Structure 1
Amino acid sequence: MIEVRKKQIETLFDERQIAAEIDRMAREIAGRQPENLLVVAVLKGSFVFAADLIRALHRHGIAPEMEFIQLSSYGSGTTGGDVRIVRDLDGAIADRKVLIVDDILESGRTLLFARDLMLARGATGAEIAVLLDKHMRREAKIEADYVGFRCPDHFVVGYGMDVAHAFRELPFVGRVI
């Protein structure tokens, strides 16, 4: 446990565990030999995971291109509401194999929206890779194709994930005690 910003943070998944899972996921993705792969990172929480994943894909012989989309389903609280596009993709995705990368799969509404959007825009396929899966929180019928860790039912921070814009810089996933 460490103290950051006068808060105690308990480590759930450390740097070494995360690196090993990302390498495993990249090896699994590369094993499918995706051609013309476009990685679409869902901002903001996935930016650290997406960066590490594309470098791991490179080490396994895959040369993806990268895009970013920012989606929101939070509104004034942390659940409910419709999913909306805050920042859209810059380029076209028609006739591309898309790998949607997000930090965490909880309710599934945002990732279901993202997958359906990619397919509606002409992607030849849209798979999902998440660092964390909180299956117990699922509301939509969707599963990730690649999962790093099953996450306990805690609010998590670090490795790009935040609470009120804090703790994104932590090199591990933890929870505020």
Structure 2
Amino acid sequence: MIDYIKGKLAHVIGDSIIVENNGIGYKVHTSTGSASDFSMPGEEVIVYTEMIVREDAISLVGFSTRDELNMFLLLTSVSGIGTKVGVGILSSIPYGQLAGIIALQDIKTLQTAQGVGKKTAERIVLELKDKVPQTLSLNAQDSQKGASVISSSQSDAMEALMSLGYTRSEAQGVLKQIDIDQMSVEEIIKASLKKLMQQF
């Protein structure tokens, strides 16, 4: 299993990038968002990858952040969602917004993604609506390992929101609008995403 590739960006070709490492050029399929992050040929990049093994082909899918890779893995865990559709969804909707859309069960907006019809959107929401906040919470807790002070639910939620691409000020601002008493981290994240999506 290849967890990530660190090397020199050789080319950006449509929905793929070529990363050279030790004289080998790795072709990695990616989203348009990540492709735009890898825009300067010759620069050193890190691509977080997943190897896709099928009977007729072996390929690499990769992204500029581990959070986007985690969202891809969640999407492709849904029955009927393959590599092409998973990447297409992430190319249509930035992964931070996508997490909010799924958590809020916004099927209509989800249908605007490439390759997603009503039934597929309903299946994604059904299978991931509870997994997305939990995953964000775990990511936030992981990012705090080694800290000398135990994180509060609010700070865990803030870290999770920032991992989705929201700024610290945006996260702090929306958390101030929420009464977090008696709320779990997952519930705080859901409430925050709802307010942030309303602002979008």
Q: TM-score range by the shorter chain?
A: under 0.3
- Which entry has the higher C-alpha Rg, 1 or 2? 2
Bigger relative contact order, structure 1 or 2 (CA pairs below 8 A, ≥6 apart): 1
Structure with greater proportional strand content: 1
| TM-score, with structure 2 as normaliser | 0.21
| TM-score, with structure 1 as normaliser | 0.23
Structure with greater proportional helix content: 2
